[in-house]
Structure 1
């Protein structure tokens, strides 16, 4: 049975702090355990970033993750079928935390899928084009676009 660790901040920290995964800097290191889990490397899009800033952060993560996986012998999976059939250790997936960067553009969802995003949380704390996050000031639920 495959067990997933659905989130770690390693990718976000590597991108925002300009460090690699194997950096000895304590702030970059997180609890990643490939012996127990398939690791989901999330790129978090903070609510206070503009769409342009969030998309730039995503693009940087999209470039960083495959490079870091290659350097650290991590197998970045392309499909869920690959997970079930894999005998490799150190499996990882690319995920997105906060779909704010979709910005009411349905074609951007395909772009995310084509960018190898396998799972995504719809919101974070605030409201975005899809719906309200956990800390939304005046929550109304999912939006019409959502």
Structure 2
């Protein structure tokens, strides 16, 4: 079964190695071309993530460096990898091709310069998360004790996303910033977040947040990072599926997807350690859900809810339950 994965940190890993990791087949990467093929990946999102340790005046250059690795190493050296720079490109993939697109995890790299954001969009960025865990000029992240919402600049960025049909990613935002985004965003998504009811971690979403996302035709892509799955102990694929079960109970069966966070996590779910192992999750899901529902989780829900697609309005709660 095809898989669309909304989050990995390969580009940051490649940048840190100064280009010494081969995207084609490196044993040191969770996501490589060979592993994507083995795992049945249809489309992989590649995050641009700038470490907080990078000096402010160097961050935009680091973002450009990661984009350089995307086009030269990911796309340029693997002929069946295809860069997707517009939503219509998702429908143009041929048999045997794997789509790849860029996302931005935190806008720290643009400072207060919207022109830099326009440049990133021209280079192919299709999803923008305003923060990582820290605060920046746009918003507070979940790690900022102040817990403030969007700034005027942050609201301008959400407007830019709306105008350019870019996803606004709420993973990593403080709760106040989440609600500010939900008031404004046309295309909200949580690219790699789980349920706080199932696992009480600051990076996960409350039931109220999840339900509101579903009501706005947004998506939640579950993340494979063990501390976000259960609070302690070894983590199994079944533990991850518990989050999918819970989101389904909130009416989100048609709005759930996958966001592994491979190459950005130090711990792994047993049996789901890299991109080649995605079928292990799919096979477990097929034991509990219909094939159509699992196709939705794996890839179809995202394709159906991407910007520009006509989608049905969210059903009233009584219709969902019936």
- Which bin holds the TM-score, normalised by the shorter protein? 0.7 to 0.9
Q: Is the 8 A contact 1:46 1:98 kept in 2?
A: no
1:81 pairs, out of 72, 88, 109, with 88
TM-score of the two chains, using structure 1 as the length reference: 0.87
Alignment of 1:37-52 (within 5 A): 37-52=42-57
Residue number in structure 2 paired with 1:132: 140
The Cα of 1:131 is off from its aligned counterpart by 0.2
Residue number in structure 2 paired with 1:67: 72
Pick the structure with greater CA Rg: 2
Residue number in structure 2 paired with 1:22: 24
Q: Is the 8 A contact 2:135 2:141 kept in 1?
A: yes
The Cα of 1:66 is off from its aligned counterpart by 0.8
The Cα of 1:20 is off from its aligned counterpart by 2.4
The Cα of 1:3 is off from its aligned counterpart by 4.9
Q: Is the 8 A contact 2:140 2:150 kept in 1?
A: yes
Q: Is the 8 A contact 1:102 1:129 kept in 2?
A: no
Residue number in structure 2 paired with 1:58: 63
Aligned equivalents of 2:114 and 2:65: distance in 1?
A: 22
**Once structures 1 and 2 are overlaid, which stretch shifts more, 84-93 or 69-78?**
84-93
The Cα of 1:13 is off from its aligned counterpart by 0.8
Q: Is the 8 A contact 2:4 2:42 kept in 1?
A: yes
The Cα of 1:126 is off from its aligned counterpart by 0.6
User: How many residue pairs end up in the alignment?
Assistant: 145
Residue number in structure 1 paired with 2:107: 99
Aligned equivalents of 2:140 and 2:105: distance in 1?
A: 14
Residue number in structure 2 paired with 1:5: 5
Bigger relative CO (Cα 8 Å, ≥ 6 apart): 1
| Aligned-partner SS, 1:8 | coil
2:147 equivalent to 1:142: no
**Once structures 1 and 2 are overlaid, which stretch shifts more, 33-42 or 58-67?**
33-42
Q: What does the per-residue CA deviation read over 1:21-49, in whole Å, with 9 as the maximum and x for residues that have no partner?
A: 135342x3337535234100112112232
**Once structures 1 and 2 are overlaid, which stretch shifts more, 96-105 or 29-38?**
29-38
More strand by share: 1
Aligned equivalents of 2:52 and 2:147: distance in 1?
A: 15
Residue number in structure 2 paired with 1:110: 118
**Once structures 1 and 2 are overlaid, which stretch shifts more, 83-92 or 66-75?**
83-92
More helix by share: 2
Q: Is the 8 A contact 1:43 1:61 kept in 2?
A: yes
Instruction: Identify unmatched segments of 5+ residues in structure 1.
Output: none
Aligned CA-pair RMSD: 2.1
Instruction: Identify unmatched segments of 5+ residues in structure 2.
Output: 155-322
